[in-house]
């Protein structure tokens, strides 16, 4: 099933990597073996994720993110 997921995906509607249909199915991220629930964007080939940093906002009102490097494993969440 992981073959159906793109190399790069974002939850931000303004991003060119945003895919609403795929996000509606439920995409989970394992980063360095740990489940992450606050991922804003990921890239498997480059090995990084952007995670939301608390409640901080930038000057445009968007959440602040931190880029972390490591092993990224996206998967579709089960419907059970």
Q: Mind spelling out the 3-state secondary structure of the chain?
A: CHHHCCCEEECCCCCCCECHHHHHHCEEEEECCEEECCEEEEECCCCEEEEEEEEEECCCCCEEEEEEECCEEEEECCCC
Q: Summarize pLDDT for 54-75 with one digit per residue, the tens.
A: 999 999 998 999 999 999 999 9
Reply yes or no on whether the pLDDT at 20 is more than 90. Answer: yes
Question: pTM of the full predicted structure?
Answer: 0.84
Which one has a higher pLDDT value, 67 or 4?
67
């Amino acid at each position: 099933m992981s073959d159906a997921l793109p190399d790069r995906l974002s939850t931000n509607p303004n991003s060119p990597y945003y895919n609403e249909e795929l996000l509606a199915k439920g995409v989970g991220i394992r980063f360095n073996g740990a489940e992450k629930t606050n991922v804003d964007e990921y890239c498997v080939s480059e090995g990084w994720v952007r995670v939301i940093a608390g409640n901080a906002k930038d000057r445009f009102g968007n959440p602040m993110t931190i880029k972390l490097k490591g092993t990224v494993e996206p998967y579709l969440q089960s419907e059970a």
